[in-house]
């Protein structure tokens, strides 16, 4: 391994081999060799979920595995048999959970649009997609079947293929084919089969394509809200169909008739938040408090983005703030604490940490205490976010920061109001609280 680094100067690589994990002994030997080399390589691979277990995933993680691609294909047990994939889906879920436990980024690859697929099968696949969102390191994917040239499914349906270059990732890149290219593709389906889809006697093709865009864009724009709606409703497809009806009834159209562009831009999350507030929560939700809290959180996060073109400047400012705010600087009594740039404090309807815990554990959202909480959201380079639910003490300190008081004046306020914790004097409670907020990069002391 040292030779690999010295010769090629690499520290990361991908093992592009569908059958890499089939031979367990080989995988173990490979990982042990990496560990013995003392070289810190980061690598990824593909695997079947029935060819790994938690013990092997733990070893792979220790050996530097940072990503695994799981080709689940379908979340329907019936379709697993029909397409001869043969995965036990409960085991597949366990493998995704194990990867999350060891912080391995996991691509959960799913596909829809098989000729035999029914609406119930599609609901199962959509459910598997959204259930994967319970795991922070899972990245579910959903594509629509487009047959490769000279494969059994292409030969079986060669006379019934439908030219539709908006289905497959291989063919669809968001641009229009010019007339000559389109004529060539239309004239040679045996070569350009990935621009075609198979017959779908049991599914509506346009519904399928919109559902794909809805799930992929929803995952990126409001991941936990999408998961919460799925858990609350029983199946995300029900929510999607309600959204379709509401969108149509309220004149929310695709600009220029382009569905994909609409779902990719900022109009979609903005419209969807309205749908959740105005329709889903009052008319369909079984856990309205939890869904209200989730939409408040996601909407605040969405609004915090502001102008996308301004994001690089915001992140640069956040990096400068971190660099200036040294941990070892003494807290100046005459300094005036203020909220850091790039930090937003919001109030939401219920305990967000508890909602996240229940979503991750798939437990009931129905009996949350009706008690608003405040949450601080902080953008950090290179573009990720840090979310903290604030204690009552932190909320009070931030309120005093907004008043423009000095550290000394805030301390006096705590003493006068006898704000303390058992065994700690009010002045020390205040000073320690300010220092914690500063260490968390929520405030700066000017």
Q: What is the pLDDT of residue 387?
A: 87
Helix/strand/coil percent split, the chain, to 5: 50, 15, 35
Token readout for 368 is 């949350």
Q: How far is CA 229 from the centre of its chain?
A: 15
With beta carbons less than 8 A apart as the criterion, state whether 443 and 398 touch.
yes
Q: Write down the residue that tokens 């605040």 correspond to.
A: 300
Rounded distance between C-alpha atoms, residue 147 and residue 111, angstroms: 12
Class of domain 2-220: alpha beta
Whether 2-220 and 311-445 share one fold: the answer is: no
Task: Write down the pLDDT at residue 244.
Answer: 97
Judged by DSSP in three states, 369 sits in: coil
Task: Write down the pLDDT at residue 311.
Answer: 42
pLDDT score recorded for residue 383: 66
Is pTM, for the whole model, over 0.85?
yes
| 311-445 placed in CATH 3.90.930.50 | yes
State the number of CA atoms in the 13 A half-sphere of 417 facing the CB.
Answer: 14
Residue 344 burial class via C-beta count within 10 angstroms: exposed 0-12, middle 13-18, buried 19 and up: middle
CA distances from 118 to 68, 78, 109 (A): 29, 10, 19
CA angle at 263 for the pair 257 and 266, rounded to the nearest 5°: 110
What is the block-wise mean pLDDT of the chain (446 residues), using blocks of 10 residues?
74 88 95 92 95 98 97 97 96 98 98 96 98 97 89 84 64 61 84 85 95 97 97 98 97 91 95 98 98 95 60 49 54 92 91 96 94 90 81 94 94 91 90 94 91
At a CB cut-off of 8 Å and minimum separation 6, what does 96 contact? 49, 70, 106, 108, 132, 135, 138
Domain ranges of the chain: 2-220, 311-445
């Amino acid at each position: 391994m040292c030779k690999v680094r010295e010769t090629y100067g690499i520290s990361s690589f991908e093992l592009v081999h569908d059958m890499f994990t089939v031979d367990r002994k080989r995988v173990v030997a490979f990982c042990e060799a990496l560990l013995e080399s003392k070289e810190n390589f980061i690598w990824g691979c593909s695997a079947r979920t029935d060819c790994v277990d938690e013990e092997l995933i733990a070893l792979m993680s220790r050996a530097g595995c940072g990503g695994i691609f799981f080709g689940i294909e379908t979340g329907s047990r019936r379709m697993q048999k029909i397409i001869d994939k043969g995965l036990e889906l409960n085991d597949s879920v366990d493998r995704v959970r194990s990867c999350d436990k060891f912080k391995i980024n996991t691509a959960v690859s799913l596909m829809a649009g098989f000729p035999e697929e029914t609406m119930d099968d599609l609901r199962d696949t959509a459910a598997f997609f959204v259930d994967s969102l319970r795991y922070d390191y899972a990245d579910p994917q959903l594509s629509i079947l487009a047959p490769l040239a000279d494969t059994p499914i292409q030969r079986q349906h060669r006379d019934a293929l439908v030219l539709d270059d908006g289905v497959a990732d291989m063919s669809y890149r968001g641009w229009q084919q010019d007339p000559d290219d389109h004529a060539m593709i239309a004239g040679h389906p045996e070569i350009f089969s990935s621009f075609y889809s198979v017959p779908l006697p049991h599914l509506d093709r346009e519904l399928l394509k919109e559902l794909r865009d809805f799930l992929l864009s929803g995952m990126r724009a409001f991941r936990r809200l999408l998961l919460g709606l799925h858990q609350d409703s029983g199946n995300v497809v029900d929510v999607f169909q309600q959204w379709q009806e509401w969108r149509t009834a309220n004149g929310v159209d695709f600009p220029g008739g382009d569905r994909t562009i609409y779902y990719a831009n900022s109009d979609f999350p903005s419209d969807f938040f309205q749908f959740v507030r105005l329709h889903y929560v009052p008319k369909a939700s079984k856990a309205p408090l939890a869904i209200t809290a989730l939409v408040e959180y996601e909407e605040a996060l969405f609004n915090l983005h502001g102008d996308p073109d301004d994001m690089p400047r915001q992140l640069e400012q956040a990096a400068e703030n971190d660099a200036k705010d040294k941990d070892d600087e003494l807290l100046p009594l005459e300094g005036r604490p203020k909220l850091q740039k790039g930090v937003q404090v919001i109030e939401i309807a219920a305990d967000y940490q508890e909602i996240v815990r229940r979503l991750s554990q798939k437990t009931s959202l129905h009996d949350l205490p009706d008690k608003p909480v405040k949450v601080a959201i902080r953008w950090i380079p290179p573009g990720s976010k840090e979310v903290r639910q604030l204690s009552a003490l932190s909320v009070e300190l931030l309120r005093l920061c907004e008043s423009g008081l000095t550290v000394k004046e805030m301390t006096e306020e705590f003493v006068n109001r006898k704000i303390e914790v058992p065994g700690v004097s009010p002045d020390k409670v205040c000073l320690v609280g300010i220092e914690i907020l500063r260490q968390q990069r929520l405030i700066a002391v000017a």
